[in-house]
Structure 1
Amino acid sequence: MNTATHLPDHPAVTTDARALRRMQFGWYINDWANAAFSATVLTVFLGPYLTSIAKNAADAGGDVHPLGLSVRAGSFFPYTVSLSVLVSVAVMLLAGSVADRTGRHKELMCGFAYVGALATMGMFFLGGNRYLLGGGLLIIANIAYAVSVALSYAYLPGLASADERDAISSKGWAYGYAGGGLLLIANLALFEGHDALGLSSGTAVRICLASAGLWWALFTLVPLVRLPSRAGVAPARPGGVVADGAVAEGADADRPTAGSLRELARTLRGMRRYPLTLLFLGAFLCYNDGIQTVVSQASLFGSEELGMGQTSLVAAVLLVQIVAIGGALLLGRIARRYGAKRTVLGSLVGWVVTVALGYFMPAHQPIWFFALACMIGLVLGGSQALSRSLFSHLIPAGREAEYFSLYKVSDRGTSWMGPLVFGAAYQITGSYRSAIISLLVFFVIGFAVLAKVPVRRAIEAVGNPVPERL
């Protein structure tokens, strides 16, 4: 087996420092690139815009009828997000298995990134009553985004030693929020000046959506150049087999998809050997689904329930991006002293308080909406960055992409249970306040399950070195 492109178990010790920094920078810029889709498309512009298009196409009762189903126009966007994630689960798992089997993590990661970027640029052509086109492009882009990000996460164990991983993960999230925020500043300037430029507000929104795809495609060139093809490392065993049963070469080498399906089936069965890793995944699935739903539906809640204009929405999300940079780095420093698990648990308490305050938020009061945005930003980056680094310790060597594909089921922009509950609550009550408060259950259950995970034993169970603080 050729291991020339493998990253070492402890790169900070065994890899040339300059080469390591080059790889880390490429990984940071990957977050910088794809955060534009998360911030500009999912969080700010697409929810309200696609909802307005769906309302244009609605019947007298306010319903649209995709595939013959009757759906309230206000629920179309969250339902479409949920559908995209349900489909992406199978695609992520298969792509992760193919990547671990063939060692082509970078090629698959960047390939899906460019598919997502093209679909996002295609959103320029939305308008009128083309809600089905918008839903289709959202599904393609969100699936591609999910797969690309899951494969990028697989690089983390090879980019830092156990004790450095929280800091590296937090820095990656900070780069992401900085990149997403920078594009939002440009888009805010464009939207505010659309009259002076002779553009309608709808055209300005479509340009902003397409700009996220262009940004994503342009900056993906950096990880394409700086990252090695294969993420992580799996110690070789006799017969060409790597750790945890991942076959590097063999009878199925010329049929990677067929062989990877078998490897995926073995991995899913083998996960039963690591019940503590699965327990952590269950906790993350709950609380991060709540986080992602708050993020993806915040603009919809702000515009439809609180009466915020597009300018206030963009400014609030930009505020989230800016505060989240400091929040990610701050919680990373706190984790260095108190451990990642305790810090994440503390951040979940912050999320409960934030969502509860959102329910009582007065309408048509931008100052309170901006205060809520600051609270979200403070806990957002750190809770996600530390969860990512914590999970990286719980993965058997050689299975990084497959395990992170499972993790990505509920990571940034790919939640499905939360939007489903959010959309159903609105479908039943007609109130976005009822929809937002329904998300508390995800944070409460996630906190309770995470508190029961013995992280040290979980790390030892997969054979990884245990960091000094957890």
Structure 2
Amino acid sequence: MTAETADGAAGGSGKGAEGAERRREQRGWYFYDFACSVYSTSVVTVFLGPYLTSVAKAAADADGFVRPLGVPVRAGSLFAYSISVSVVLAVLLMPLAGAWADRTGRRKPLLAAAAYTGSAATAGMFFLGGERYALGAVLLIVANAALSVSMVLYNAYLPELAGPGERDAVSSRGWAFGYTSGALVLVLDLVLYSGHASFGLSEAEAVRICLATAGLWWGAFTVIPLRRLRDRRAGPDGPDGAGGVGTGWGQLVATLRDMRRHPLTLSFLLAYLVYNDGIQTVISQASVYGSEELGLDQTTLIVAVLLVQVLAVAGALGMGRLARTHGAKRTVLGSLAVWTLILVAGFLLPAASPVWFFALAAAIGLVLGGSQALSRSLFSHLVPRGKEAAYFSAYEMSDRGLSWLGPLFFGLAYQLTGSYRDAILSLIVFFGLGFVLLARVPVARAVAAAGNPVPERI
């Protein structure tokens, strides 16, 4: 299929055999969210933070420190620091993946490699027991970095699969698929964890099974997008088969230079980089905050995250509809205002109060999916044709690249004060500054400057 035919399919009416094939490919694309989202929910958001912290505390000295590679680290900060290290590793790998995919036109082999590396590392968390905090940190770093690389390649399919007028809806459906799978697996996790004694398991064994099954789920459902997605073409800047990992950083530099010709795209990336850091920090640190600062038990945390997953499906689809009437930019700006109110409420939340924690989780669920889905679809309009993987590599670096800063603040705050609550208000800066930066971006003009058709509402 030529570039013109592929683009026509993405932007056409969707009628006939070609339209049916495109819809089939879109459904396959949704299933990668369905596959990998259980890692973000069951592993990062619910189980691994508190469990890895407990393993590290079991291995800590009398002062509460562990010493990976001889570096003194307070046990309660290990999870946050591991997240930060994984982001640094991802930043090193993502440009290589994006450059190779654009130059060769073959995204699926790299998507498969990244997905199954992350899946294997997650399944390996079954062996995280006793005082093996270092093993847990390494597996977390590998799995998190692999997820980031896979998302570069996954997101780069969006401009090819959906025309300008349908990207908000397609992106939102992808997030909805992901939150649906997260909710389904969390229900199964809740049954296993809460009834672990009746299954003849200890609490730690139940957690390790929940971690490992998330990896198996990720690997199993990745088969569907790998069967349905198609590699269409190489980018215009390199012949098919040219380039490899050695050209990755050169390609990143070239992409950043090319972005200088699209300063409005860069302005959007800066805004996204700032406010998304706040979102990612809330997601990754919520369970640690709930268990260590608010004194909530694991069952309460699972139910709260399950509530987030269920409402995030409705939130993603609902905000997608709002974007059709009010525009994606205004809808995202509204969500950032809600995020700020959520943080204030979280700071004031009393300890040992599950009802208020559930109310906060409900509010997060209603804005979480839509914020991320609409940001992704907005950026897809700002990508010059034929440079999808390279630009989405930069986008994913904005997604993950500064996401070490929020967790690092949390880790440092606990390192210095012994309290997670002290750091939460700092996230308001991320949402406030992100709101201001996004509000200043003339999105319609940015779409036109990238050479793409401007949707009726954006």
User: Shorter-normalised TM-score: what interval?
Assistant: over 0.9
Task: Describe the shift of the 1:418–1:5 C-alpha distance in structure 2 as closer, same or farther (beyond 3 A).
Answer: farther
| One-letter amino acid of the counterpart of residue 71, structure 2 | L
Q: Which range moves more in the overlay, 262-271 or 416-425?
A: 262-271
Show the counterpart of 1:91. 93
CA distance in 2, matches of 1:391, 1:294: 22
What secondary structure sits across from 2:264 in the alignment? helix
CA distance in 2, matches of 1:257, 1:105: 13
- C-alpha displacement at 1:428, in angstroms? 2.1
Q: 2:223 aligns with which of 213, 221, 224?
A: 221
| One-letter amino acid of the counterpart of residue 366, structure 1 | P
Show the counterpart of 1:8. 7
Mapping for residues 61-100 of structure 1, pairs under 5 Å: 61-100=63-102
Mapping for residues 17-36 of structure 1, pairs under 5 Å: 17-36=19-38
Q: Which runs of 5+ in 2 are unaligned?
A: none
Show the counterpart of 1:37. 39
Show the counterpart of 1:394. 382
Q: Contact (CA 8 Å) 1:106, 1:230: kept in 2 or not? A: no
Show the counterpart of 1:103. 105
CA distance in 2, matches of 1:37, 1:153: 17
CA distance in 1, matches of 2:49, 2:398: 19
CA offsets 1:215-271 (integer angstroms, 9 cap, x no match): 00000000010000247x85xxxxxxx2xxx2124xxx4653334444333222222
| One-letter amino acid of the counterpart of residue 7, structure 1 | A
Q: Contact (CA 8 Å) 1:38, 1:412: kept in 2 or not? A: no
Q: Contact (CA 8 Å) 1:9, 1:157: kept in 2 or not? A: no
- C-alpha displacement at 1:120, in angstroms? 0.3
- C-alpha displacement at 1:441, in angstroms? 1.0
CA distance in 1, matches of 2:118, 2:185: 17
What secondary structure sits across from 1:336 in the alignment? helix
CA distance in 2, matches of 1:142, 1:410: 15
> Within the alignment, does 1:270 sit opposite 2:258 as a pair?
yes
Q: Contact (CA 8 Å) 2:91, 2:401: kept in 1 or not? A: no
- C-alpha displacement at 1:57, in angstroms? 1.2
| One-letter amino acid of the counterpart of residue 60, structure 1 | A
CA distance in 1, matches of 2:217, 2:191: 16
Q: 2:307 aligns with which of 319, 333, 339?
A: 319
- C-alpha displacement at 1:161, in angstroms? 1.1
| One-letter amino acid of the counterpart of residue 38, structure 1 | S
> Within the alignment, does 1:451 sit opposite 2:442 as a pair?
no
Q: TM-score, normalised by structure 2?
A: 0.96
CA distance in 1, matches of 2:124, 2:261: 44
| One-letter amino acid of the counterpart of residue 13, structure 1 | G
Give RMSD over aligned pairs.
Answer: 1.8
| One-letter amino acid of the counterpart of residue 263, structure 1 | Q
Q: Contact (CA 8 Å) 2:11, 2:164: kept in 1 or not? A: no
| One-letter amino acid of the counterpart of residue 36, structure 1 | V
CA distance in 1, matches of 2:3, 2:269: 32
- C-alpha displacement at 1:406, in angstroms? 1.7
- C-alpha displacement at 1:320, in angstroms? 0.2
What secondary structure sits across from 1:439 in the alignment? helix
Task: Describe the shift of the 1:50–1:319 C-alpha distance in structure 2 as closer, same or farther (beyond 3 A).
Answer: same
- C-alpha displacement at 1:414, in angstroms? 8.3
Q: 1:184 aligns with which of 183, 186, 191?
A: 186
Q: 1:137 aligns with which of 136, 139, 150?
A: 139
Mapping for residues 67-466 of structure 1, pairs under 5 Å: 67-230=69-232, 242=236, 246-249=237-240, 253=241, 256-411=244-399, 415-466=403-454
Show the counterpart of 2:61. 59
| One-letter amino acid of the counterpart of residue 267, structure 1 | T
Task: Describe the shift of the 1:299–1:30 C-alpha distance in structure 2 as closer, same or farther (beyond 3 A).
Answer: same
CA offsets 1:128-151 (integer angstroms, 9 cap, x no match): 111110000001101110010111
CA distance in 2, matches of 1:265, 1:343: 32
Task: Describe the shift of the 1:277–1:194 C-alpha distance in structure 2 as closer, same or farther (beyond 3 A).
Answer: same
Q: Contact (CA 8 Å) 2:90, 2:145: kept in 1 or not? A: yes
Q: Which range moves more in the overlay, 377-386 or 15-24?
A: 15-24
Number of equivalent positions: 455
| One-letter amino acid of the counterpart of residue 23, structure 1 | E
Q: Contact (CA 8 Å) 1:80, 1:135: kept in 2 or not? A: yes
CA distance in 1, matches of 2:347, 2:149: 33
CA distance in 1, matches of 2:132, 2:77: 16
What secondary structure sits across from 2:6 in the alignment? coil
Task: Describe the shift of the 1:361–1:5 C-alpha distance in structure 2 as closer, same or farther (beyond 3 A).
Answer: same
CA distance in 1, matches of 2:101, 2:428: 36
Q: Which runs of 5+ in 1 are unaligned?
A: 235-241
Task: Describe the shift of the 1:359–1:20 C-alpha distance in structure 2 as closer, same or farther (beyond 3 A).
Answer: same
- C-alpha displacement at 1:422, in angstroms? 1.6
Show the counterpart of 1:237. none
| One-letter amino acid of the counterpart of residue 266, structure 1 | A
Runs of at least 4 residues off by over 4 Å: none
CA distance in 2, matches of 1:371, 1:451: 29
- C-alpha displacement at 1:401, in angstroms? 1.1
Q: Contact (CA 8 Å) 1:408, 1:414: kept in 2 or not? A: no
CA distance in 2, matches of 1:226, 1:413: 30
Task: Describe the shift of the 1:261–1:289 C-alpha distance in structure 2 as closer, same or farther (beyond 3 A).
Answer: closer
CA distance in 1, matches of 2:227, 2:450: 32
| One-letter amino acid of the counterpart of residue 350, structure 2 | P
What secondary structure sits across from 2:131 in the alignment? coil
- C-alpha displacement at 1:111, in angstroms? 1.4
Q: Contact (CA 8 Å) 1:42, 1:413: kept in 2 or not? A: no
CA distance in 1, matches of 2:425, 2:187: 30
Q: Which range moves more in the overlay, 26-35 or 7-16?
A: 7-16
CA distance in 1, matches of 2:4, 2:186: 36
Q: Contact (CA 8 Å) 1:288, 1:411: kept in 2 or not? A: yes
CA distance in 2, matches of 1:369, 1:310: 13
- C-alpha displacement at 1:324, in angstroms? 0.3
CA distance in 1, matches of 2:83, 2:399: 13
CA distance in 2, matches of 1:171, 1:328: 8
CA distance in 1, matches of 2:377, 2:243: 33
CA offsets 1:69-88 (integer angstroms, 9 cap, x no match): 22111111011101100110
Q: Contact (CA 8 Å) 1:292, 1:413: kept in 2 or not? A: no
